[in-house]
Amino acid sequence: MERKISFSSLLQVFKKYYLLIAIAVVVSVIGTYLFTTQVIKPMYSASAWAIVKIENKANSNNSSEDIQRLNTYKTIATSTVVLENVKKELHLENRQNLQDQIKVLNDNSSQALQITTEDSDNKEAVAIANSTAESLKKEVKHIWGEDNIQIISPAQLKDSQTPISPNLKVNLFLAVIVGLIMSLIIIFSLEMIQSPLRTDEDFEAVTPIPVVGHIIKFQKNSKRDNNRKLITRHVARSSLYKQAAEGFRVFCANLLFISQKNNLQVFTFTSVRSGEGKSTSIANTAAFLGLKGFKVLVIDADLRLPKQHGIWNVPNVSGLTDMLGRAVSYEKCVARTSEENVAFIPSGILARDPSDLLTEQKIQDIFRWAKERYDFVLVDTPPAFISDTVFCAKESDGTIIVVESGKTTKQNFVKTLSNLSAVDISVYGILQNKVKMKGQSSYYM
C-alpha cells in the first residue's frame, strides 16, 4: 500500500523539527562564511588589451590570413619564451603554474586581443597581464620583424578591486541550500528509523504484518491502579472505557478470525519494550473472549516481573514455576478469576534464573494440557529482547506484539521483528495500544 503524505503531516514534521532546520542552516552559513573569508584565498583578475595591425595585401585572402595570424599570436602569448620573459621581469622564477593563470581571448571578428590573468595578489595580476602583453609585442617583432601589436589599454590597479572569487553571496546562498538539504536528510532518517510508530501507515511502511487492534489510552495511572485495568468491571464508568471496550471487542473478533483461519489456540503476547500495556491488554482480551462464551486460560510466563496476579487480584503463591520445576498437578496451579470463563495460572514464586526452568519439553507439555481444556490460551511473556520469550513463543501457535502508540520507535520495532524471525517465530498481528484520542468518538489514526 502506497503511503500518502498530506500537507498537514508535513506541517507537523516542520513544527517538530523547525529548530533542527534553523540550526542546520545557521551552522552551514556560519561555516561557509568563515571558510570563504578565512581559508579560501581571494582571486583577482586583470586584463590588458592589445590590437593587431594587419596590412592589407592585394590579391590575398585577408580574412583567413588574419584569423590564422591572430590565433598564432594567441598561442605565442602563453608560450614558454614569452612566459620566461615575464618571470624574469617580475622575478617569478619559482612560479610553476603561470601558464594556467593567463588566458588570451579573441572573438575572431575583431583584431583585438584580451590578455587576462588571475592571481591572489591584485598588484601581481596587473603586473603579469601588462608584462605578458609587452613580452608578446617584443617576441612578435623579433620573429617577424613587424611592430604591429599596439597595447591600447594596459591593466589598471584599482584600490577597491573586488575579487572574482570566492563569491561570498553565492556561497552563502548555496550554504542555505546545503543546510536545508542536510536537515531534510537528518529528519528523513529520524522519521524513517527512530521516530515513534503512531499510525497504521507507519507499520505498513516497515512490515507486512497487519495491525489487528487499536486500544485507546483509558487510564492515567495504569501502573498504580490495578483495580481499573479490567474494563469489564468499569465499562459504564466513562466514554473512554466504552471506547476501549469496543477496541477489545474488535481485537477479539480479529483474533478469533486468525485462530479459526490458521487453527491456532495458544497465543504468546510480547512487546518491544516494557511498559507498553501488554499485561493489561492480555487480561482484557481474556475477559472479552470469556464474555463471548470461550473458555480462556491466561498464563503469566513473565517470570522476572509478573503483573497478571495483581490485575486478577490472585495471590502469587503457586503457579508456572511450580509446573516447570516440580512434579505437581497442573490443575492445582490454576486459579479462578471473577471473570466468566477465564482461568489464570500465576507466575509462581520467582526463581533466581528463570531460563533454567523453561525447557522445550516442559512448555510443550503445559501447552498441550491447556489446549485440551481451553479454547484459547493467552501467554504473557517478557519483552521480546528477554530470552524467556523465545522459549514460549516457539512452542505456542502464534505471537501477537503489543506496541504502545507514539512511544515505540521504528528502529526498535524492526529489530524486534528481525530477532523473532531469526528463530522462526510467527507473528500474526500487532496490537496498537494506548492510542491517543483525536476526538470524543475516534482515536488518532
Q: Is the pLDDT of residue 192 over 80?
A: no
Establish whether domains 44-153 and 197-435 are of one fold: no
232-285, pLDDT tens digit by residue? 776 656 678 888 999 999 999 999 999 999 999 999 999 999 989 999 999 999
Of the pLDDT bands very low, low, confident and very high (cuts 50, 70, 90), residue 220 is: low
Per-residue model confidence (pLDDT) at position 441: 47
Looking at per-residue pLDDT, the higher value among 398 and 13 belongs to: 398
Other C-beta atoms within 10 Å of 218: how many?
Answer: 25
What cell was used for 23?
A: 540550526
Per-residue model confidence (pLDDT) at position 48: 93
Of the pLDDT bands very low, low, confident and very high (cuts 50, 70, 90), residue 221 is: low
Q: Summarize the confidence of residues 38-43 as an average pLDDT.
A: 90
Q: Summarize the confidence of residues 212-217 as an average pLDDT.
A: 93
357-413, pLDDT tens digit by residue? 888 899 999 999 999 999 999 999 999 999 889 999 999 999 999 999 988 988 899
Q: Summarize the confidence of residues 82-106 as an average pLDDT.
A: 89
Per-residue model confidence (pLDDT) at position 225: 59
276-318, pLDDT tens digit by residue? 999 999 999 999 999 999 999 999 999 999 999 999 999 998 8
List the domain boundaries for the chain.
9-40+166-190, 44-153, 197-435
What cell was used for 252?
A: 477479539
Of the pLDDT bands very low, low, confident and very high (cuts 50, 70, 90), residue 193 is: low
Q: Is the pLDDT of residue 227 over 90?
A: no
What distance in Å separates the CA atoms of residue 380 and residue 303, rounded to the nearest whole number? 10
Cα–Cα distances in Å, from 422 out to 39, 164, 388, 402, 410? 52, 61, 15, 19, 18
- Per the confidence metrics, is the pTM higher than 0.85? no
Q: Summarize the confidence of residues 42-65 as an average pLDDT.
A: 76
197-435: what fold? Rossmann fold (3.40.50)
| SS3 of the chain | CCCCCCHHHHHHHHHHHHHHHHHHHHHHHHHHHHHHHHHCCCEEEEEEEEEECCCCCCCCCHHHHHHHHHHHHHHHHCCHHHHHHHHHHHCCCCCCCHHHHEEEECCCCCCEEEEEEEECCHHHHHHHHHHHHHHHHHHHHHHHCCCCEEEEECCCCCCCCCCCECCHHHHHHHHHHHHHHHHHHHHHHHHHHHCECCCHHHHHCCCCCCEEEEEECCCCCCCCCHHHCCHHHCCCCCHHHHHHHHHHHHHHHHHHHHHHHHCCCEEEEEECCCCCCHHHHHHHHHHHHHHCCCCEEEEECCCCCCCHHHHHCCCCCCCHHHHHHCCCCHHHHCEECCCCCEEEECCCCCCCCHHHHCCHHHHHHHHHHHHCCCCEEEEECCCCCCHHHHHHHHHCCEEEEEEECCCCEHHHHHHHHHHHHHCCCCEEEEEEEEECECCCCCECC
Q: Please give the CATH number for the structural domain made up of 44-153.
A: 3.30.70.1130
Q: Are 218 and 231 in contact (CB under 8 A)?
A: yes
Cα radius of gyration rounded to whole Å, the chain:
41
Q: What's the CA angle centered on 317, arms 316 and 321, to 5 degrees?
A: 90
141-165, pLDDT tens digit by residue? 988 888 889 999 999 987 667 888 8
Per-residue model confidence (pLDDT) at position 236: 55
What distance in Å separates the CA atoms of residue 418 and residue 65, rounded to the nearest whole number? 78
116-147, pLDDT tens digit by residue? 999 988 899 999 999 999 999 999 998 888 88
